[in-house]
Amino acid sequence: MKNNKLLMLRLVTNAPPCAKRVYRALKIFDCAEDIFSADKKYFSDAGFKENEISSFFSSNISDAERYLEYCEKNGIKIITYYDEDYPSQLRELEEPPAILFVKGELPPMKSCPALGIVGTRECSPYGGKLAAGLAYDLVQTGFVIVSGMARGIDTFAHKGALLAGGKTVAVLPSGVDIVTPSGNKELYHRICETGAVISEYLPGTQCKPYNFHLRNRIISGLSHGISVIETGLKGGSMITVRHALEQGKMIFAVPGTPGVRTSEGTNHLLRSGATLCTGSEDIISEYEIFFGRKFERPERMAKISPYTVSVSESHEAKPVKKAEKAPKKQKTEQAQEESPVSVQIPKPVLYCALSEKEELVINALKDGPLSADSVCDATGLIFPQAVSILNGFEISGYVESLPGGIYKLKE
């Protein structure tokens, strides 16, 4: 097993300039040993230059040994193309990753319904809350949420999944040991605790623009479908969609406001035949057809409307006694509710009645912005509790996160 990982590391470290052609060879040969014992004429016929062949067959394994030792010391799991726990969906890609570097524990992606949620980094408050609410619902139904941990939609999707206590997978465009973006350090550690952060890039690899394009094929490859929330026509999310279409995956798009740049991509997808997504039910019903089984709906689902994303507690509400009659609304109030211009955005139901621990966090933040660690010191909560509450407050609109992992109450 260790020898196989060493050989695959040798494959990656010795031939980065011609990685695409090398990775295609994975499907032809049965194991790493066969690749290195193959006739060099095969690689020459495949278009390799002489210097590339010499580099590829170099006997130098010092770099591979160094990376193997680094991963073992830093808790980075190495899953190669030839390992049994390699995601089978990725084997179907034209250019499958030779190696996946994993922090955390990768869920069984084939047996679990997996949805990729992608969108713009410059998302609107509505788009962010919708992404979080969608992930929140689906995780309770048994879904795994896949995204790229970028700012904006990706971040909200991961946080919604974590808030629901589920699993989420972040695919990085850098080495798995580099938090990308750096402002998502706390989110990175939270994902590692309950799900997985993965990358095909060697540890220590800095993010480069082209890495995003390659990274996106893995997001779509791991997912059974892709949901796009707010994107321009040329956004990175559209690259993910292109990969997903090539892979035969389902595409869901959230309609956006006409004339808004970050709605152009999703509206274009809908005109082109993507499935309309206005909430989790649209996705769950399609997945039931795909998997051929019924999914149990969560008791508490996120309400998604053009005005707010809140969490319904209707199953916990006390029944109204027959003697009690709700006061009739005045016509002016009814008119206000029906008007999208004058409607007031209500506070999310989930935190209208705060728990004791939530009150501790709110009171701590009243003294000024704090990091999650400082909130723990002030409240006596353990780190996962504090982060979970802070994430929930951010999604609900009570707090906002600042650079450096600092949280502050919204004015």
Is the per-residue pLDDT at 301 higher than 90?
Answer: no
DSSP notation for 233-278: TTSHHHHHHHHHHHTT-EEEE----TT-HHHHHHHHHHHTTPEE-S
Q: What is the pLDDT of residue 299?
A: 66
Query: Do residues 193 and 275 share a domain?
Result: yes
43 inside domain: yes
92 inside domain: no
Q: What is the pLDDT of residue 337?
A: 33
Query: Do residues 17 and 127 share a domain?
Result: no
Say what percent of the chain tops pLDDT 90.
46
Write out the H or E segment, with its range, that includes residue 338: helix 331-338
CATH (domain of 162): 3.40.50.450
Residue 321: pLDDT band (50, 70, 90) is very low
Query: Do residues 237 and 157 share a domain?
Result: yes
Q: What is the pLDDT of residue 2?
A: 64
Query: Do residues 156 and 251 share a domain?
Result: yes
Residue 287: pLDDT band (50, 70, 90) is very high
Q: What is the pLDDT of residues 66-108, one digit of tens each?
A: 999 999 999 999 999 999 999 999 999 988 999 999 999 999 8
Question: What is the number of domains present in the chain?
Answer: 3
| Residues 360, 390: Cα–Cα separation, whole Å | 11
Q: What length does the chain have?
A: 411
Question: Strands 302-304 and 309-311, how do they pair?
Answer: antiparallel
Query: Do residues 272 and 366 share a domain?
Result: no
Nearest by Cα to 223 from 277, 157, 145:
145
pTM recorded for the entire structure: 0.74
Query: Do residues 194 and 48 share a domain?
Result: no
Is the per-residue pLDDT at 55 higher than 60?
Answer: yes
313 inside domain: no
Question: Strands 99-104 and 77-80, how do they pair?
Answer: antiparallel
Is the per-residue pLDDT at 165 higher than 50?
Answer: yes
214 inside domain: yes
Q: What is the pLDDT of residue 59?
A: 76
Is the per-residue pLDDT at 341 higher than 80?
Answer: no
Cα separation of the two ends of the chain: 56
Is the per-residue pLDDT at 298 higher than 80?
Answer: no
80 to each of 23, 31, 101, 254, how far by Cα in Å?
12, 10, 9, 36
Query: Do residues 198 and 271 share a domain?
Result: yes
Is the per-residue pLDDT at 333 higher than 80?
Answer: no
Range of the domain at 13: 2-85
Query: Do residues 157 and 199 share a domain?
Result: yes
CATH (domain of 396): 1.10.10.10
| Residues 154, 183: Cα–Cα separation, whole Å | 13
Cis peptide before 258 (omega within 30 of 0): no
Instruction: Answer with the one of 247, 269, 291 that is the final residue of a domain.
Output: 291
| Residues 162, 145: Cα–Cα separation, whole Å | 10
Query: Do residues 189 and 247 share a domain?
Result: yes
Give the lowest-confidence range in 205-214, 307-316, 337-346. 337-346
Residue 200: pLDDT band (50, 70, 90) is very high
Instruction: Answer with the one of 68, 85, 102 that is the final residue of a domain.
Output: 85
Instruction: Answer with the one of 256, 291, 326 that is the final residue of a domain.
Output: 291
234 inside domain: yes
Q: What is the pLDDT of residue 276?
A: 95
Residue 265 CB contacts under 8 Å (≥ 6 apart), including other chains: 228, 230, 231, 232, 233, 235, 237, 238
Q: What is the pLDDT of residues 8-19, one digit of tens each?
A: 998 888 765 446
Better-scored residue on pLDDT, 200 or 16: 200
Angle at 302 between CA 297 and CA 304, to 5 degrees: 120
Query: Do residues 170 and 257 share a domain?
Result: yes
DSSP 405: T
329 inside domain: no
